[in-house]
């Protein structure tokens, strides 16, 4: 497999502490593989090259030092081993999603058993579901080599969405206005009964 790579080195010594946190979070969000402290590797793509160049500019502006080298790994077995490390890191993240997903399904079941099928519970669970979707989206964005667990994690999130949709439908039905307030078929509504008769409808 031929893959271009970015070797990124960063030093924030003497720079504000906030810069170190920013660098760590940004490289983590990109899925960088650390080879040693302050030295990491990323597959070279338009997206990662732009992101790393912007990060390096920020580091230089804030008083740190950053270097970016574009290189190739010429030994196939070495490159395969690096790619496998990337895949295993993402697989671990997908596994964490799968580990936490059941808590949302269990919460819906628990609220249903308590008779608390309300729209307030729907809104709370919607926020949880959106967090799972956002989390999964971030993992997928840095999953450069189709790590195992991706399909299963996506399916689990969709199961949560389906369960929440059913919960929401039940909550809406339970909280709908009383059907007795609706007009009876075949009878005029109060608005129509109170409507003044048109000139042609008035009796002689």
pLDDT 10s digits, 3-24: 799 999 999 998 999 999 999 9
Residue 76 reports pLDDT greater than 80: yes
Residue 192 reports pLDDT greater than 60: no
Give the C-alpha separation, 50 to 58, whole Å. Answer: 12
Number of Cβ within 10 Å of residue 56's Cβ equals 19
pLDDT of the residue at 178: 57
What does pLDDT average to over the chain?
A: 86
Q: How would residue 204 be classed by pLDDT, with cut points 50, 70 and 90?
A: very low
pLDDT of the residue at 177: 65
Cβ-proximal residues to 100 (8 Å cutoff; 6+ apart), any chain:
132
Which one, of 183, 88, 103, lies nearest residue 144 by Cα? Answer: 88
Average pLDDT over residues 178-196: 41
Phi-psi region of 187 (alpha: psi -120 to 50; beta: other; left: phi over 0): beta
Average pLDDT over residues 25-41: 95
pLDDT of the residue at 150: 97
């Amino acid at each position: 497999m031929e893959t271009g790579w970015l070797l990124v080195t960063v030093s924030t010594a003497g720079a504000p502490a906030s810069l170190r946190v920013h660098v760590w979070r940004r490289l983590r969000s990109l899925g960088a593989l650390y080879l040693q402290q302050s030295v990491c590797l990323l597959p070279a793509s338009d997206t990662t090259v732009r992101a790393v160049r912007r990060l390096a500019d920020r580091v230089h502006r804030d008083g740190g030092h950053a270097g970016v080298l574009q290189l190739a790994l010429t030994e196939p077995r070495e490159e395969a081993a690096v790619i496998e490390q990337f895949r295993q890191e993402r697989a671990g993240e997908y596994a964490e999603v799968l580990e936490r997903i059941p808590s949302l399904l269990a919460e819906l079941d628990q609220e249903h058993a308590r008779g608390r099928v309300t729209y307030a519970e729907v809104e709370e669970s919607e926020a949880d579901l959106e967090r799972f979707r956002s989390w999964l989206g971030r993992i997928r964005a840095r999953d450069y080599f189709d790590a195992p667990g991706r399909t299963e994690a996506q399916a689990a999130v969709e199961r949560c969405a389906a369960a929440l949709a059913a919960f929401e439908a039940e909550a809406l039905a339970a909280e709908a206005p009383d059907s007795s307030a609706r007009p009876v078929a075949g009878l005029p509504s109060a608005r129509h009964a109170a409507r003044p008769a048109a000139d042609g409808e008035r009796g002689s």
